Amino acid sequence: MDLVLLCVFLPLVTVAWGQYGDYYYGPYNYGDNDEWANVYRQGFNFQCPHGQVIVAIRSVFNKKEGSDRLWNYACMPAAQSLGEPTECWWEEINRAGTEWYQTCSNNGLVAGFQSQYFPSVLDREWQFYCCRYSRRCPYSCWLTTEYPGHYGEDMDMMMYTYDYYIRGATTTFSAVDR
Question: What residues does 47 pair with on adjacent strands?
Answer: 112
**What pLDDT, on the 0 to 100 scale, is given for residue 147?**
66
Find, among 85, 74, 76, the residue nearest to 137 by Cα: 85
Q: What's the CA gap between 4 and 58, in Å, rounded?
A: 49
Residue 36 pLDDT exceeds 90? yes
Asked whether the predicted pLDDT for residue 79 surpasses 60, the reply is yes
Q: What is the structure's pLDDT at 29?
A: 52
At 115, the pLDDT band (50, 70, 90 cuts) reads very high
Which has the closest alpha carbon to 113: 178, 36, 28? 36
- Return the pLDDT at 17: 32
pLDDT in tens, 55-76: 999 999 999 999 999 999 999 9
Residue-level pLDDT at 162: 65
Instruction: Categorize the per-residue pLDDT at 54 as very low, low, confident or very high, splitting at 50, 70 and 90.
Output: very high
Q: Residue 61 in contact with residue 151, Cβ under 8 Å?
A: yes
Is the pLDDT at 27 greater than 80, yes or no? no
Q: Which long-range contacts (CB under 8 A, 24 or more apart) does 25-34 make?
A: 25/55, 25/76, 25/158, 25/159, 25/160, 25/161, 25/162, 28/55, 28/56, 28/74, 28/158, 29/74, 30/56, 30/58, 30/72, 30/73, 30/74, 31/72
Poorest-pLDDT segment among 78-82, 117-121, 130-134, 147-151: 147-151
Residue 146: the pLDDT is: 63
The per-residue pLDDT for range 85-111, each reduced to its tens digit, is 999 999 999 999 988 889 999 989 999
β-partners of residue 58 are 72, 156
Distance from chain centroid for Cα 113? 10
- Residue 123: alpha-carbon gap to chain centroid: 20
Helix segments in the chain, DSSP class H: 2-22
Residues 6+ apart with CB under 8 A from 148: 59, 61, 154, 155
Q: Residue 57 has what pLDDT?
A: 92
For the stretch 128-169, pLDDT in tens is 999 999 987 666 666 666 667 677 888 888 886 666 888 888
